[in-house]
Amino acid sequence: MPIRVMLVDDHELVRQGVATMLAKAEDVTVVGEAKTGREAIEAARSQLPDVVLMDVRMPDMDGLEATRRIKEERPRTAVIMVTMHDNPAYLREAVRAGAAGYLLKDVSKDELLDAIRQVATGGAFIESQMLKGMLSEMKPGAPVPSAARNLTKREREILAHVAEGLSNREIADRLVLSPETVKSHVAAILEKLNVSDRTQAAIYAVRNGLVEQPAS
């Protein structure tokens, strides 16, 4: 099954350019487009994308609010913010809203496809130090949801390392496991927590007191 991608940008030329970049990839298909935040929410309901490429600034509703609302309705849909500027403060807000990370608009075709493929399989695009900084500022303490109680001891252990910003290979080295085994555990964690990617899993874990808050 190809990865279902939705394009959200208020400039038609940008949407056309991205669609052209993705057209020849056999494992990716563009299932919808939107030019405003409100249109994006409606399109996500009807087209059921796996990944949304979300513009930051748009008329009637910005990318942050659109991301927040899409994630409320479809938490397993991954959102990548697409922006002209590398702004850490905005990125932090985007990730808090539910984004897996961000790409700059001058990204290459290969980088774009790599990003889509990564988030479609639970990956994320955010530096580990930035993730740690964000998590250290969050206020944990909410009751542990019933979904989280289904995590095994090993899954909680791996989730704690995900919250440290470690890759699957780094986690595998620490726990003396194969990267494939870690990947399988991470996939199970995402499904049980009903989140789209490892960044959102880390945020979920800290907010709900499932792991210790990392030092910034």
Mean confidence (pLDDT) of the chain: 89
Domain total in the chain: 2
Residue 145: alpha-carbon gap to chain centroid: 21
Q: Does residue 192 have a pLDDT over 80?
A: yes
Q: 54, 77 in Cβ contact below 8 A?
A: no
Can you give the residue range of the structural domain that contains 144? 132-207
CATH number at residue 85: 3.40.50.2300
Indicate the SS3 state at residue 29: strand
Q: Does residue 113 have a pLDDT over 80?
A: yes
The DSSP bridge partners found for residue 5 are 30, 51
Query: What is the rounded distance in angstroms from the CA atom of residue 35 to the CA atom of residue 153?
Result: 44
How confident is the model over 156-187, as pLDDT tens digits?
A: 999 999 988 888 999 999 999 999 999 999 99
How confident is the model over 136-162, as pLDDT tens digits?
A: 777 766 666 666 778 999 999 999 999
Domain termination residue (choose one: 89, 108, 126): 126
Task: List the strands of the sheet with 101-104, edge to edge.
Answer: 28-34, 3-8, 51-55, 78-83, 101-104
- Residue 80 inside a domain? The answer is yes
Please report the pLDDT score of residue 149 as a whole number: 77
How confident is the model over 44-99, as pLDDT tens digits?
A: 999 999 999 999 888 889 999 999 999 999 999 999 999 887 777 888 888 889 99
- Residue 212 inside a domain? The answer is no
Read off the pLDDT of each residue in 16-34 and give the average, rounded to a whole number: 95
What percent of the chain is modeled with pLDDT above 70?
Answer: 94
Please report the pLDDT score of residue 92 as a whole number: 83
* Whether residues 49 and 82 fall in one domain: yes
CATH number at residue 151: 1.10.10.10
